[in-house]
Amino acid sequence: METIIQALFVSGALGYYSLNWLQNLVAYSSMMPAEHTTPVRVAFGVIIYFVFQLARRWGLPIQISAALITFFALGYAVLIWMRHRNRRGRSDFTSWEQAFTLFDAGGYLQADIFTFEGVHVASGLVNNHNALNSVPRDIALMPLPAGYPEHTTTKAASAAAQEIFLDTENRLQYYFIFYGPK
């Protein structure tokens, strides 16, 4: 049993899961390329393994406890630092991820989509969106329920929107309106 636990720490698995945890807490971008995420995962893994080895003289239960405390302490320290950094206008999140922060917070997000030429493409409530790197920027919309206005011109959408995302690759404009949970 001790060998299996040591293998878990030597492999750097907790370093890998540290970054996944931060990405799930929306503290670190999930669209970062591997050349940016791999060093972070390795650094987390090395620090956790170092603490695991430092606690070796006190036995396996203390080693595991020390490593897990380090896992959570590192995670929360990075979480606090990233949120503080993001509040000051510096963010590691892509514009696509930032455009959906209201949706990820709960409630309803209406999207009115237009081409760069102003042609109305679609309107609806966001049901799902891709927030991963190297996948298409797809968005799934549900029909607008009664009481939600469909904006068919960029002027009307711009007047109502709380956030606008420009997809320069596909030449689309997304006008987002957030409605709190009902």
Question: What are the tens digits of pLDDT across the range 20-30?
Answer: 777 666 666 66
pTM above 0.85, yes or no: no
> Is it the case that residue 114 has pLDDT exceeding 90?
yes
Looking at the chain, the whole-number percentage of residues with pLDDT higher than 90 is 12
pLDDT band at 117 (very low <50, low <70, confident <90, very high): very high
51-70 CB burial, b ≥16 within 10 A, e <16 = bbeebeeeeeeebeebbeeb
Half-sphere exposure of 38 (CA within 13 A, CB side): 3
pLDDT for 112 equals 92
